[in-house]
Amino acid sequence: MTPHAPILLPADVRSRLKTLRLLPRRARGTHAIGQHASRSRGAGLEFAQYRAYEPGDALRQIDWKLYARSDRFFVRESERESPVTVWVLVDASASATQADRARPDWSRLDHACATAACLVELALQQGDRFGLIAVGGDGVRLVPAGSGPRQRDRVYLLLRQLHAHGGWPAATALRPVWERVQAGDMLIALGDGFDDAGVALLERLAAARREVLHLQLLSAEERDFPFTDGHRFHDPETGEELLGDGRAIREGYLARFAAAQRALHARLQAAGIVTATGYLDQPLDVPLRTLFAPGSAA
């Protein structure tokens, strides 16, 4: 097996990531200072309301200007901002070997790993905890959630070791996912979305109050089907091959592919899973902007 391309975020992508934020819908967090507003009150960063002073309140929370006007003690309450735990799930099954003829050295797995690196950078700049889950022929491999630059190094190490092969493991082998991803955590799945077992896992996680998002990664050839002559089509997971005339089957393929996409997105939406689609010939941050745009909640 040939190692996939090294993880290297282009400078322009890294710069644009500074304007993005991971905004979970159901983040609960802890009482640490972070980027995600929880429902608790306290000495956070965003002002919420005043309330009467109570014994035990910190003196620094008292609004002394208001005291001078009213001769009463009031405390400034703020919305606490809490970090969320972000999990990135990478589909490393054999289908991730897919690449376009225009760029044969850039596979779906390469793109998924680079996208995972983008998400790690976002979590890092927000002070969030983050972890990595890879699913494929080796079963489940993961980096437990942590924070900081050293945690990023641990995630990068596993990303560099991944090889795309095999299929999705049996449901019993997915137990580590359930043991690690807790209610209220946010999980972002990266893959083509064509493994029913993978979609079923996301549905179960969403039903169990995990914040689930799906970023579908497709090749440009899957999108455009640019084949105009005889071509041998190969299924990397089953090994099956089909020899066909690209021009003759293009219209039918595009219609079936569009129908499959609609069915997948409807299924994910029914489960409350936010989804977006990115392509191997796009900049890494394009689908992330769609996924985390305001109003993108399903």
pLDDT at 73 (0 to 100) = 80
CA distances from 260 to 255, 265, 267 (A): 9, 9, 11
| Model pLDDT for residues 61-120, shown as the tens digit of each residue | 788 888 788 888 877 655 445 578 999 999 999 999 999 999 999 999 999 999 999 999
Strand partners, 129: 85
Per-domain boundaries in the chain: 11-28+84-291, 36-82
Q: Which residue has the higher pLDDT, 119 or 51?
A: 119
Contact of 68 with 24, CB cutoff 8 Å:
no
Q: Worst-scoring range by mean pLDDT, 45-59, 84-98, 117-131, 206-220?
A: 45-59
Contact of 36 with 76, CB cutoff 8 Å:
no
Q: H helices of 50-195, where?
A: 64-70, 108-126, 149-161, 175-180
Q: Are strands 129-136 and 103-107 parallel, antiparallel or unpaired?
A: unpaired
How far apart are the C-alpha atoms of 286 and 12, rounded to whole Å?
12
Buried b (16+ CB within 10 A) or exposed e, 108-126: bbbbbbbbbbbbbbbbbeb
Whether residue 241 has pLDDT greater than 60: yes
Whether residue 1 has pLDDT greater than 70: no
Give the residue-averaged pLDDT of 109-134: 95
25 φ/ψ angles, rounded to the nearest 5 degrees: -85, -35
126 φ/ψ angles, rounded to the nearest 5 degrees: -95, -5
pLDDT at 62 (0 to 100) = 80
Degrees (nearest 5) of the Cα angle 136, 137, 139? 70
pLDDT at 39 (0 to 100) = 43
How far apart are the C-alpha atoms of 228 and 267, rounded to whole Å?
33
User: Mean pLDDT in the chain?
Assistant: 83
Whether residue 266 has pLDDT greater than 90: yes
Contact of 199 with 265, CB cutoff 8 Å:
no
pLDDT at 249 (0 to 100) = 82
Identify the sign of the CA torsion 201, 202, 205, 206: negative
Superfamily of domain 11-28+84-291: von Willebrand factor, type A domain (3.40.50.410)
Whether residue 247 has pLDDT greater than 60: yes
